[in-house]
Each structure stands twice: as C-alpha cells, then as structure tokens.
Structure 1
C-alpha cells in the first residue's frame, strides 16, 4: 500500500445508556428459569471492566421476545441513524462537503441490509449519485481495522479521490435472553452499540499517515468467534480459548506483520488495540510483554462503551489523537475467521 492520509475521524453512539449494575440486575430477572446458570456466571458483569454502555433501544425492549423481523427492523433504523451521524461529522471535520466524497466503504455485521447501509443513508448524508460503494459484511470486531485499510487502499489506487469509511454495529440487538449458552450471558455483560467514520485520501497527511496494512488468518479456527444464525436472531460465538489463543500467537503474528510493513516491532511507539474485553486486553499485554498501563486508553474505552465490535478500536484511536498521536502506531483487532488485522499509522 502506498501511504495515505487520514483527514478526519468521528464517532457516534445511540441515546440510550445502561449502567453495568443495572444491566446485571435486569439480566438476572430476564434469564428466568436459567437463574442458576446466570448466578454461576454473573461475576462477568462485575469483572468486565465496564461502567456503562450505549444501546439502540430502551431497556424494556430487550426484556420482550423478538424474532428476526423485529431485530432486523430495529437494526435498519438504528444503524442508518448512526451511519448518518458518524459520516456527516467525519466529512465536516475533514473540511469537505458530502459531494466531495468519491467512494464509501461501509462495514457492519450485526444485521442484514439490502440495499446496504450506505445506499440507505445516501440521501440524508448528501452523497453524489456516482459514488463508489464497497459494503463489507462478516468482519466482526476486526472490521474497524480491515475497513479503514480497505478505504486507504481504494484512495491510494486512485490518487486525488476522497474515501469515506464508516462502521456501524448494533451488538445489543443480538442479546438473547432465551439462550442457555454461557456465551449469551457474557454477551449481555459486554455488548454496546456505536459507530465510527473516517475520511482518507492520497497526498499530504493531516491527522496521520496510513503507511500499510496486514492480516493473519489462522487455520481451523472458525468456531472461536462469530455468529450463529438461529430462528430468534443471531447467537454469539465466544470461545473461552480466545485469551489463551492470543497469548500463544500474538507475538509471532505481530512480528510477521511488522516484517511485511517494513518496520521492527521495537520501533512501534504504541499499539491501538480493539478492547474486546478485560481478559483480551490482559492477554495482549502478556503476549507482547507490555508494561502496566500501556493499554490504559483501551481500558477507558471498554469502561465507557463496552465492546461495540468493529467501531471500538476507532474510539481508542480517537482518544489517542486527542492526546497526541505517537510517532508510529500499530492498530490491531481480532475478528471471526479467526483473524488478526493490523494497520500502521504515522503521526503528522
């Protein structure tokens, strides 16, 4: 990849907020006949490192029964609203008008939209009628890094074009109170909703320069993370092996990525990681022998927003930019596949 400029970054969250202690109390009530299972696993609410989360519906909505139609209808409305807010803010921050955007990469995995989200949002954002559209599905938590990398590749392949990247995830819609799967309880303790957007272009950089991207797909790992499609809605796949898998494989994976990106890991000033959970952050620190506190911003974002899947790593980057981006930053995120995505940023 030729270097590409990151011109702006914006985030958005839905209006409804749930405090973690409140989520625990209401979830215990809602799991009904599975109280013994819930009580056995309820410590995840206390140990998740989360204070509050933003969700796309009032809390009572989650206590009622919903099938595919209800869940996806909420996704379409909420995701479009979040898309418009994040995209419009990113374009404005870039000092552009919507008709200056030549293409859009849209990442979302928590609902089905055909036409896709960027087409639905186009009239409200103000896109031109000849805008290039690249909707991406199935990337999960890795979508924030992979989607930004895809937008950067598109921008550098056509010098002078401006590309918008938007990722929207409404993870809370997939919360399943009918399930006896322990992963469903973990999801109830972790999931929040949010969106992020960025504008990239070739040429001189503004906020930062994107210098390269890499990805590692691990064989025979399809059941580590993802969604199962079931009659009431999506069912989360979370394997308990995720943290130990990261501890075992991340160091070698990062070294391989750095070789492909033409740098030594020792020359990376900071990571910018997707904070999927406290145990995931701990595993990253252990695998890469990081000092205590090096991933403090990741823990802050997890505390304030929970796991929003793909947008979450962009929330970390937003805080890094606000505090002064280090000279060289490696963004990383894990997602279904099982995959690790990486992207290199250099400060302005």
Structure 2
C-alpha cells in the first residue's frame, strides 16, 4: 500500500488581484490598437482568476528583464520556497528530513543545473543515499506524474518514504514584446506556486491510499502545448484546440481506467482535477454536472491562484485532504500536459 501522508502548499510573496493587474496592462499595451487593448483586458477580466501570486513583482514582470535575470529570480525563489514548503510538510507529517528515501522535484518554468533536489538535500541535510529524480519537461501534468513515479518507487520498496515538490513560476515566462493571443491568454490565467506531497509505503503511516495510476498519451498532438526556448526566454505554446481535444478524448481517458478497477463515475466521491483554465473547466464541468458531480475545489483554486502549472492540482488535493473525507470514499486525480498527455490517479480514504 502506498499512502499520501501529507500535502502542503507555499505561496510567493507578490500578490495581485486581476483588477490590480489591469493598470500594468495599460503600460504594456501602450500604442496598440484600442480595440485590441479592450480585448486583452476582457480576457483578463473573464479568465475566472481573481488573484495570483508570483516570484516576480508586477513591475519586474512588465519590464524588459532579460532571460538571465528572470531565470536567476526563478532559481533564488525556487530554492527558498521549496525549502520552506518541504520543511512545513515534514512538520505536518511529523517526519524528520532524514526519513526521506526518495526525492522528486518537478518544474518546467525555469532552468537550473544542478537541479532543485540537489539544493534541497543540502538545505535540509537529507541522507546522502536519498534517491533523487528531477522532472523538468512534463508541464502541467508533472504534479500527478511525479506522484505516479513516487508510487512506483514505494511499491518496489516497502517501508520507505518519498517527497514530491512542484515549483512553478509561469509569470517568469511572460514575453513583453509578444502580443500574440497565446501570450495574452497565458498571462491572464497563470500564477506561481509551490506544493509538496509526502507519500509512504510504511505500515505505520496513514492517509488515503493510491489504488491505481495510469498515463494516457494522445497521438500526433505534440503541437498542442509546451514551450519554445527563445533568446527572450521560454515562450508559451498553447493551441486554441486544447479544450476540444480533451473533450473528444475524455471517454477514453476516464472510463476504461475506472472500469479496470471495477468502478464507474458514480463510485467517485471527489474529483481532483487540474484547473488548466476557464474553458477546460467548463468542458469538464459539463461532462460531470449531469452525473451529480462537481469540481468546486478545482474552480476555487483557479479563482484564488490561477493555473500554477504542475503545482495546481496539488493545491486541489490539499483542499480535499483538509476536508477529511470519510473512510471508504474515493477520489480521482487528473491532469493534462505537453505531449499531449493525461495523468490519472485513483485514491481511497
């Protein structure tokens, strides 16, 4: 049995409401067509994101900061916030740092070598034989994927403990001189955040059990989502057809996975979905509302924090854990990311 012992989230210091961001758009869009400016502001206002946090101040985001300078902020804040988040998660679980056997870090919004896990080993004085795995190129799907990798390690190694840390700063990828709809939409929906999940195959540890996991890979869809590495940094790739592609594949993503476990959607008590954006939420909600299911926690995380890439679904998981579901209740985790891919986990409390 592999169980989730604890989840903890940590937010960056810079916080702005969408209303507070609008004046910065005036400076960024100065000289653009009035109709275009109104359209951009409407996208922000209708994004379903009311607040967001970031590693960088708005003044830094909306300035011609070099790729090197932005990446240095990403590195500095990643080390600081991930250390705080992992420390708090260990305290919540009543574990010592030396109890960890496996350390996974996931991120796609900055570049650092050595990877973040190496710094965490030093900062928290983890054991010298801890197994480490940095996952850097799975985008929004990496939070659930990292949990799958942790489960595989723990299944093969009973009596061990693992930590997954997701660190993301999509605001560091904002392109000041790019007025494409992709750059506008990504700026409107994304925010920054850090999350940690502690997992265990120790008999004495309690928490919801991971009953099953699975990955689903869309064919011929590498163009849908990702980043292009340019002279000005990581440039977002986000195809307008993503919600429609997800909707078309949803039955194949969901039902065979549940059926393999002898379940239907009626047996799932909690939906723990990655809030990719307003349109994706609308697609998922339309599919489940008629079945009496809701994704209220997913919607609330998007409203309060925006899409924080791989960390976001872990914020939804933390809310679910804090609500203390009853024994026997089941949850379904689902996230999407570049590739194009869907990652699935079945939980039981």
Place the TM-score, normalised by the shorter chain, in its bin: over 0.9
Q: Are 1:17 and 2:15 counterparts?
A: yes
Query: For residue 272 of structure 1, what is the aligned residue in structure 2?
Result: 272
RMSD between aligned residues: 1.7
SS at match of 1:178: coil
Task: Give yes or no for contact 1:10–1:198 (8 Å, CA) kept in 2.
Answer: yes
TM-score relative to the length of structure 2: 0.94
Query: For residue 330 of structure 2, what is the aligned residue in structure 1?
Result: 328
Query: For residue 340 of structure 2, what is the aligned residue in structure 1?
Result: 338
CA shift digits 1:166-220 (9 cap, x unpaired): 1110111011121021111111111111011111111445221111111111011
Distance 2:125 2:282 in 1: 43
Distance 1:234 1:38 in 2: 24
Q: Which moved more, 1:27-36 or 1:16-25?
A: 27-36
Task: Give yes or no for contact 2:225–2:237 (8 Å, CA) kept in 1.
Answer: yes
Give 1:17 deviation, angstroms: 0.2
Task: Give yes or no for contact 1:38–1:185 (8 Å, CA) kept in 2.
Answer: no
Distance 1:104 1:241 in 2: 35
SS at match of 1:248: helix
Distance 2:136 2:262 in 1: 29
Query: For residue 214 of structure 2, what is the aligned residue in structure 1?
Result: 214
Task: Give yes or no for contact 1:214–1:260 (8 Å, CA) kept in 2.
Answer: no
Distance 1:220 1:117 in 2: 32
Give 1:148 deviation, angstroms: 1.1
Distance 2:31 2:256 in 1: 48
Query: For residue 114 of structure 1, what is the aligned residue in structure 2?
Result: 113
Distance 1:35 1:140 in 2: 33
Give 1:263 deviation, angstroms: 3.1
Query: For residue 91 of structure 2, what is the aligned residue in structure 1?
Result: 92
CA shift digits 1:59-118 (9 cap, x unpaired): 211122122211211111111112111111111111111011111011111111110001
SS at match of 1:331: strand
Task: Give yes or no for contact 2:142–2:310 (8 Å, CA) kept in 1.
Answer: yes
Give 1:228 deviation, angstroms: 1.1
Task: Give yes or no for contact 1:28–1:35 (8 Å, CA) kept in 2.
Answer: no
Query: For residue 299 of structure 1, what is the aligned residue in structure 2?
Result: 299
What is the number of residues matched between the two proteins?
Answer: 345
Q: Which moved more, 1:107-116 or 1:83-92?
A: 83-92
Distance 1:262 1:291 in 2: 18
SS at match of 1:223: coil
CA shift digits 1:276-317 (9 cap, x unpaired): 111111111223454677111111111110110111111111
Distance 1:52 1:289, change over 3 A: closer
Query: For residue 31 of structure 1, what is the aligned residue in structure 2?
Result: 29
Query: For residue 192 of structure 2, what is the aligned residue in structure 1?
Result: 193
SS at match of 1:221: coil
Distance 2:65 2:120 in 1: 25
Unaligned 5+ segments in structure 1 are none
Q: Which moved more, 1:147-156 or 1:320-329?
A: 320-329
Task: Give yes or no for contact 2:25–2:41 (8 Å, CA) kept in 1.
Answer: no
Give 1:128 deviation, angstroms: 1.3
Distance 1:34 1:262 in 2: 56
Distance 2:289 2:250 in 1: 11
Unaligned 5+ segments in structure 2 are none
Distance 1:343 1:257 in 2: 9
Q: Which moved more, 1:265-274 or 1:255-264?
A: 255-264
Task: Give yes or no for contact 1:248–1:287 (8 Å, CA) kept in 2.
Answer: no
The 5-angstrom pairing of residues 1-348 of structure 1 reads 3-36=1-34, 37-204=36-203, 206-290=206-290, 294-325=294-325, 327-347=329-349
Distance 2:78 2:348 in 1: 31
Give 1:261 deviation, angstroms: 4.2
